[in-house]
Structure formats: C-alpha cells, structure tokens
Structure 1
C-alpha cells in the first residue's frame, strides 16, 4: 500500500444509513497507519432546513466545514499513510475537495438505508415517532436521499454496492486503494 510523507485521504460517502461510519471504521482497522474522522463528530454551521437546501440547489459550500478541514490538515502533517473520512459530500465542497485523494460512494438501496436509520435512531422511540419519521421521509426527506444519488454518487472515484456485507465492501475499497 501507499508509503510516503503525505497520507492518502479517502472519503466514504453515501446516504444517511448507507453504512459510511461502519465502513470507515472497518477500513481504518484494515489499513495500516491510519486515522479516521467522522462527520457526525462535528457540529457544523449549515442549512437549517435540509429539504429547503436541496430544493434551492444543494450548494454544498453553504456548509462551514472549517473544524473538519482543520483536523484533516493537522493529520496531513502526521506520519500517517491514510486518513479515512466518514464524509457524505465526497468532492462537492470546494474547500475540502482538494484535500481528498479518493472518494468512495457506498450505493445502499434506499429501503435498506431507511431501515438502518429507523433501527439505529429510533430504538427506544414510540411507534408514533417512527410513523412521523416515515411520513416525513415520504413527503419530503426522500428528496435529500435522491440529491445524494444525483450529485455525490457520480462524483466519486468508485461506487460500491451497499447491500454487500461489511467485509466485502471493505475488501472492494481496499483493493481499489491498492491499485492506486
């Protein structure tokens, strides 16, 4: 795999519930001398209403990613071989795209992604809360997922089938990185 002074920065993108965090963790374990940054560990300034943002053209630069950029730049100075980003935007943000070397899109069917979200986010919720979330998804939220398919998926270096097992997805990404 890659040796040298500057780490290879790998972005793992996909829809909410698509497996970004899980795959980033597994890939980090598989790669030697790597660190991982997780999008959900940050509190970014960004659009208040994601659906309105999507309907207005989904300008990814409206997100202030300064804390993440600072951490990436800091890790680039470390003697690492890889930096794995759990980052949904791939190359679509102008202030971070030049820091990413390889963008992966996990193409998870929307029904699987939604089921994972409900299982993960609503474990201890009432049936009513789950039904409200499902109604929101049908009426508005699905547009956010479709935006990812329209904008992020075609702007990634590789697309991996998100319905595969975690180990198979990780193997596919690892092999693609090895060919670089």
Structure 2
C-alpha cells in the first residue's frame, strides 16, 4: 500500500480522556512530525453543546476553517507525520478526508472526569467543583455519551485510556508502523 506523506493521525476521546498528552508523546516518538491541538483554536460552533447533542450532534456545524488551514499548510512541509488532537475523528466532513488514521482513546468516564477536575479546578474553591459536578450529572454527561456513541465507532483503532501514557503511545505507534508498511 502506497501512502501519501505526511500521514495524518487524529487522536480523539472525551474531555479529560488524554488526547493532548498522547498527541504530545506520540509526536515526540514519531520522527519528522508536528502536532496541532484542538484547544489552541477558537472555533465557531454551537453555543449550547447539550442542546447540540440533543438535536443530533451535527459535527459539520463547527467551523473548523482555522484548523483545516493549518493542516493544509503542514501538508506542504516535508513532514512524515501530522498528529492532530481532534475530538471528532471522521465525523466532520471537511477534515475526515484529510485523516489517514483515527484513534479513539477510550477512557472510562470517571477517570476522564477526575482528570478534568484535577486539570481545570486546581486553584478553584470547592463550590466551583461542586457546581461542575452538578452540571455533569444534570446535563454534561450527555456530551460524553455522544462521544461514545458517535466518535468511538467511527475510529480506526480504539485504545484503552486507563493504560499508561507510554503503553497507549506504544499501541498507536505500532498501528502507525503497520499502516506505513
């Protein structure tokens, strides 16, 4: 199989699932690669994520033009790999055609939520954490379940997000090497 270079690898998963750290470690392991991080962008998208989920979660409602421009710019560089920390895998039609391998980090929701609280509420009062937990229970969890329903089955490989970062990176790296052979 003759693959185009650079190979574009998408790392998807729920918030707190480990996408960013896995993308970082994978890029360090892959020679001649660059990474784009979803959270580095401000996108025009749905104002209310839960309402968006309840209305069918049309991923094309997100205007991902800045990310697409950056991917296309990197395609002109002499790279072997582009890793994108991108939660939608193949579900956005304008990016799906660019992706060669979509990986879903399948992190148990309790671990993902614990990571989010640790990451996002380090210096916050307890009340802020309780409000976030109430929001998750009352509505936010539906957004996480949407990822499990739509993104996970639309990925090429699914990796257990409760494994160590090193083990997850090894599994993805091996899949990339198999794809490249």
Shorter-chain TM-score above 0.5:
yes
Please give the alpha-carbon distance, in whole angstroms, between the structure 2 residues aligned to 1:115 and 1:20: 15
Q: Which residue of 2 aligns with 1:168?
A: 167
Deviations 1:102-123 (A, max 9, x none): 0000000000000000000000
Residue number in structure 2 paired with 1:28? 27
Which secondary structure does the structure 2 equivalent of 1:32 belong to? Answer: coil
SS of aligned partner of 1:96:
helix
Note the C-alpha offset of 1:142: 0.2
Contact 1:34 1:83 in 2 (8 A): yes
Task: Give the 3-state SS of the residue equivalent to 1:104 in structure 2.
Answer: strand
Q: How much has 1:5 moved relative to structure 2?
A: 6.2
SS at match of 1:6: coil
Matched residue, 1:55: 54
Coordinate RMSD, CA, aligned: 1.3
1:69 aligns with 2:79: no
Query: TM-score normalised to the size of structure 2?
Result: 0.97
In structure 1, distance between residues paired with 2:75 and 2:98: 9
Does the alignment pair 1:7 with 2:6?
yes
- What displacement does 1:6 show? 2.3
Contact 1:6 1:77 in 2 (8 A): no
2:17: which partner in 1? 18
Aligned twin of 1:107: 106
Q: In structure 2, the residue corresponding to 1:11 is in which secondary structure?
A: strand
Cα separation, 1, equivalents of 2:4 and 2:104:
26
Change (3 A) 1:77 1:4: farther
1:8/1:83 contact within 8 Å kept: yes
- 1:54/1:143 contact within 8 Å kept: yes
Distance 1:141 1:57 in 2: 15
CA contact (8 A) 1:5 1:79 kept: no
**How far apart are 1:4 and its partner, in Å?**
7.5
Task: Quote the residue 1:126 is aligned against.
Answer: 125
CA distance, structure 1, for counterparts of residue 107 and residue 84 of structure 2: 18
Q: Which runs of 4+ in 1 moved over 6 A?
A: none
